[in-house]
Copies of this chain bind each other. A is one copy, B any other.
Amino acid sequence: MRLDEDQAQTRLVAHDHGVLCTMHPDRGVDAVPVVYAIDEEGFVGIPVDRVKPKASTRLQRQRNLETDPRATLLIEHWDADDWSRLWWVQVELRAVDDPTTARKDGLATRLAQRYPQYESQPFADILVLGIAGVTGWAAAS
């Protein structure tokens, strides 16, 4: 069954990680796992981090968003045995060009509270994105 916007938004706020999709100018979609936090105005902060050491393409998502600000975040619950528990939420995002320091600081605080891993090794930067739409589906309500 399709989730309404409130149900989808509730799952988005409660969940802890997802897959961020951005558009590479040549090769199509780049998809990477991410963690995230959402502030009270509904902006999404995604850390560009040093906790999980990245290969040389580490900042490709940022270069993609400079060329095309559209991004999609997919969060889901997977259960190999019981498909009646499956659900997913797809979030249509737009990169915020020049977020305020206050917004970035607020999101940084939320990320640090949510993911203790960042206590010992802070993230390098935060991508800030606005939500353009939220849709979702669940096998059961």
A interface, CB within 8 angstroms of B: 1-2, 16-17, 19, 21-23, 27-33, 51-55, 68, 70-74, 76, 78, 80, 83, 86, 88, 90, 92, 117, 137, 139
Contacts and interface: CB of A to CB of B under 8 A. Distances in A.
A74 B27 contact: no
- For chain A, what secondary structure do more than half of its interface residues adopt (helix, strand, loop), or is it mixed? strand
A139 B88 CA distance: 26
Contacts of A30: 72, 90
Given A30-B90, A92-B27, A53 B17 contact: no
B86 A33 contact: yes
A1 B53 CA distance: 7
B19 A83 contact: no
Given A17-B78, A52-B86, A28 B23 contact: yes
